[in-house]
Amino acid sequence: MIIDKIENIELYFHLGERIKQALIYIRETDFSKFEAGKHNIDGDNLYVLVNEYITKDISECLMEAHKKYIDLQYMYNGCEKIACSILTNQEPTKNYDSENDYALYNPIDYSMIKLESGTFALFFPEDLHMPGIINKIPKNIKKIVVKILI
């Protein structure tokens, strides 16, 4: 997992061409014009999910993990907390769904990060993450998730 400000994206260009392309895309795109939903960048290799929602209590959330895609989560507008942990031998509460590329897990042992406007996080397949958690009070947010095929 990586968390940083959009101003520092060049530090992560060495992680691969698709990650570099995704980071440049979030820096150079005006997401104010994007409706919620899926938007194509490069077919199944790279696409964007524009999410607009109200953050919720941690008791309403589950951790997730992916196998085929890296998540680049960029907070366009708002603030949320994300619980994070390393995937080791945890048992899923929902087995891996290969069509939608996710498995769900109960939050057991985790650390919290705060994703604020202008910051991003990269979650790799071994990173359990639970986004959408309130930071003090529920807020409307707009978050961009770029799915990067491994």
Alpha-carbon gap, residue 74 to 122, rounded angstroms = 9
Confidence at residue 53, expressed as pLDDT on a 0 to 100 scale = 98
Alpha-carbon gap, residue 108 to 17, rounded angstroms = 34
| CA distances from residue 139 to 16, 24, 59, 75, 145 in whole angstroms, order as listed | 34, 27, 16, 13, 18
The domains of the chain, with CATH numbers, are: 2-149 (2.60.120.370)
| CA distances from residue 81 to 15, 26, 27, 63, 110 in whole angstroms, order as listed | 25, 20, 21, 13, 12
| Segments of the chain with pLDDT less than 50 | none
| CA distances from residue 58 to 34, 55, 106 in whole angstroms, order as listed | 28, 9, 11
Alpha-carbon gap, residue 127 to 63, rounded angstroms = 10
Q: Quick one: CA dihedral 18, 21, 27, 29, positive or negative?
A: negative
Confidence at residue 93, expressed as pLDDT on a 0 to 100 scale = 96
Output the average pLDDT for the chain. 97
Confidence at residue 108, expressed as pLDDT on a 0 to 100 scale = 86
Alpha-carbon gap, residue 61 to 78, rounded angstroms = 18
